[in-house]
Amino acid sequence: AASVLALTAGAAAAQEAGEECSDGEIVVKFSHVTNADRHPKGIAASLLAERVNDEMDGTMCVQVFPNSTLYNDDQVLEAMLQGDVQLAAPSLSKFETFTKQFRLFDLPFMFKNIDAVDAFQNSEAGAEMKDSMQRRGLQGLEFWHNGMKQFSANVPLETPEDAAGLKFRVQPSDVLVAQMEALDASPQPMAFSEVYGALQTGVVDGQENTWSNIYGQKFFEVQDGVTETNHGVLDYLVVASVDWLDSLDQDVRDQFTTILSEVTQTRNSESAAVNQEAKQAIIDAGGTVRTLSPEQRQQWVDAMKPVWSEFESDVGAENIEAAQDINA
């Protein structure tokens, strides 16, 4: 926790100051949508900038734009292909127009926890997924963890029937749409930056997200409570354009990707702790957190898991099997 907090202060200061790049440095704009200092992705992005700007001073300079200040997730990949931004880390649910492979990660109850997700991503099949969009001009560099998703709504959610008839914000993913339909709820795809307002004004009744996002965006303040379902995973792919990577000298590219990989290892191992801190912060702030009995949780599994068969051909039966072997 101490290291999380120490970094937080430094990262926040860097953010406020705004990173000035010098003439001749390769400027790397990194656009993302979460906060910079109490979030698995925000902290990782800040640490990456800190290290590159220190160790590659004079050569490369990373500027982080958090909180959707530069682009929303639904614009950032197009902006990257235009060369307007060089790095992003959208959630795996936001690559639908580029590949269907990541649908595996959206399937409800596919992975039992973030360690299982990590093991799959580090398997050969997982690693190959990073190359699945090369034809479309994008290169996946590293998977970054956030964590497991929880449901919240403006009414208590204990059984799947409680969600029926409610409108839920989802990320723009066909699997997540199908998941909510399996609950007889109404899915509403929407950009992350719009969710708080939509919950507050009743445009939607509920949403699903990780503790760090529910805390970071204050969703819990405009919901009845959060139910600890751990029903799915929200993870990221750090991505760059093939053109931009190819434009880098080999030694520059190697130094950059080495730093990125070290940052990934350091921060991925802390993502669960950051989410647990966020969960506790919600409780400390007076938010309601509900837990499910094993029987109640099984009802959610029974209601949502049938969605797998709809997407089996997109994600590959062998990948589903590999994920289940890891869980076992």
> Could you give the CA distance from residue 228 to residue 245 in angstroms, rounded to a whole number?
40
35 forms part of the interface with ligand LMR (CB under 6 A): no
CB of 234 to ligand LMR, least distance (A): 6
For tokens 């580090």, name the residue. 122
Closer residue to ligand LMR in complex, CB, 230/326: 230
223 forms part of the interface with ligand LMR (CB under 6 A): no
Q: Which stretch binds ligand LMR (CB under 6 A): 33-41, 97-105, 111-119, 242-250?
A: 33-41
Answer yes or no: are the C-beta atoms of 223 and 199 closer than 8 Å: yes
CB of 91 to ligand LMR, least distance (A): 3
33 forms part of the interface with ligand LMR (CB under 6 A): yes
Closer residue to ligand LMR in complex, CB, 171/275: 171
CB of 193 to ligand LMR, least distance (A): 9
214 forms part of the interface with ligand LMR (CB under 6 A): no
Decide: helix, strand or coil at residue 302: helix
Answer yes or no: are the C-beta atoms of 111 and 120 closer than 8 Å: yes
Answer yes or no: are the C-beta atoms of 93 and 176 closer than 8 Å: yes
34 forms part of the interface with ligand LMR (CB under 6 A): yes
CB of 20 to ligand LMR, least distance (A): 26
Beta bridge mates, 27: 61
CB of 299 to ligand LMR, least distance (A): 25
71 forms part of the interface with ligand LMR (CB under 6 A): no
Q: Which amino acid is at 204?
A: V
CB of 88 to ligand LMR, least distance (A): 10
Contacts of the segment 256-260: beta carbons below 8 A, 24+ positions apart:
256/52, 256/56, 256/60, 257/141, 259/48, 259/51, 259/52, 259/55, 259/56, 260/48, 260/141, 260/142
211 forms part of the interface with ligand LMR (CB under 6 A): no
> Could you give the CA distance from residue 192 to residue 216 in angstroms, rounded to a whole number?
11
- Hey, what's the torsion of the CAs at 260, 261, 266, 267, to 10 degrees? 60
> Could you give the CA distance from residue 104 to residue 109 in angstroms, rounded to a whole number?
10
What single string gives the DSSP state of each residue in 193-258?
Answer: GGHHHHHHHTS-SEEEE-HHHHHHTTGGGGSSEEEEEEEEEEEEEEEEEHHHHHHS-HHHHHHHHH
Question: In the set 31, 139, 213, 268, which binds ligand LMR (CB under 6 A)?
Answer: 213
Closer residue to ligand LMR in complex, CB, 171/227: 171
Contact code string over 129-168 relative to ligand LMR, x by CB under 6 A: -----------------x----------------------
CB of 228 to ligand LMR, least distance (A): 17
Question: In the set 173, 188, 209, 227, which binds ligand LMR (CB under 6 A)?
Answer: 209
Tokens of 107: 């399937």
Q: Which residues bind ligand LMR (CB under 6 A)?
A: 33-34, 41, 91, 146, 171, 192, 209, 213, 234
